[in-house]
Amino acid sequence: MRKAGGGSIINMASVLGINGARLRSVYASFKGAVILLTKCMAIDHGPEKIPVNAICPSFVETELTAGYLKTVADPDAVRRERINVHPIGRLGQPEDMAGLTVYLASDESSWVTGAVFPVDGGYLAV
């Protein structure tokens, strides 16, 4: 990116890096570290025209979350509980991250750096 004269770094953190949750101390602290890393990298790489930002999804239906649901006693109950904490009334989909990711990777966001973007179906609003 330095040789090319710029670029864009997009880190994936989590809403739990912004707002912790019960029994998630290790996960939340690591995602919080990604957020602080993002901010420090934005400061370090700003002069090189390399913006650095973070996307913070909530519970998104991926292979990872499908694997997690297989480990719980009542996957349907856990799924319903996760849906109920999102005011938008559904779990996220990988595609929900796409628009913001494209924006942050584009020249349209060239003056956005060190920012943390929750994409969470309203999870942090409650």
* Residue 70 belongs to domain spanning: 9-120
Does residue 97 sit within a domain?
Answer: yes
Q: How many CB atoms lie within 10 A of CB 118?
A: 20
Active-site entry in 27, 68, 103, 123: 27
CB 2 within 8 A of CB 50: yes
For the segment 76-114, what is each residue's pLDDT rounded down to a tens digit? 999 999 999 999 999 999 999 999 999 999 999 999 999
Does residue 73 sit within a domain?
Answer: yes
Name which of 58, 62, 57, 65 is nearest 100 in CA terms: 57
Assess whether 27 carries a catalytic annotation: yes
d(CA 67, CA 64): 5
For the segment 19-60, what is each residue's pLDDT rounded down to a tens digit? 999 999 999 999 999 999 999 999 999 999 999 999 999 999
Tokens representing residue 85 in the block? 């904490």
pLDDT at residue 59, rounded to an integer: 96
Does residue 36 sit within a domain?
Answer: yes
pLDDT at residue 105, rounded to an integer: 98
Q: How many domains does the chain have?
A: 1
